[in-house]
Amino acid sequence: MKVCPQCSCGSYGSPRACPGCGADLSEAPDRGGTDLIGMVIDDKYEMTDFIGEGAMGWVYRGRHRSLDSTIAVKLMKPST
């Protein structure tokens, strides 16, 4: 997973550009597990705490930005 260094938007795979702001992601490292704290999905959901990990994904406590409510987010691990 790539996380944009400018806007913190997350993206699966190996995108060349950030889907949120268009920044170059060629130098952005692949991240996963606890490294995704602070990542923002769809400009709505911000990952705030790592809760745990299973065989297929990671679970985070997050915040719905516009509603300012706590949410749980499960992110699937990339297939290898």
Taking only the tens place, the pLDDT of each residue in 1-52 is 899 999 999 888 778 899 889 999 999 998 888 899 999 998 899 999 999 9
> What does the pLDDT read at residue 19?
87
Taking 80 as the threshold, does the pLDDT of residue 79 lie above it? Answer: no
**Spatial distance between the Cα atoms of 14 and 10, rounded to a whole number of angstroms:** 11
Taking 70 as the threshold, does the pLDDT of residue 80 lie above it? Answer: no
> What does the pLDDT read at residue 14?
79
**Residue 4 in contact with residue 20, Cβ under 8 Å?**
yes
Tokens standing for residue 77: 């691990």
**Residue 3 in contact with residue 28, Cβ under 8 Å?**
yes
Q: Is 15 exposed, middle or buried (0-12, 13-18, 19+ CB in 10 A)?
A: middle
**Spatial distance between the Cα atoms of 30 and 47, rounded to a whole number of angstroms:** 17
**Residue 60 in contact with residue 71, Cβ under 8 Å?**
no
**Spatial distance between the Cα atoms of 24 and 55, rounded to a whole number of angstroms:** 31
User: Is the pTM value of this prediction over 0.85?
Assistant: no
Taking 80 as the threshold, does the pLDDT of residue 65 lie above it? Answer: yes
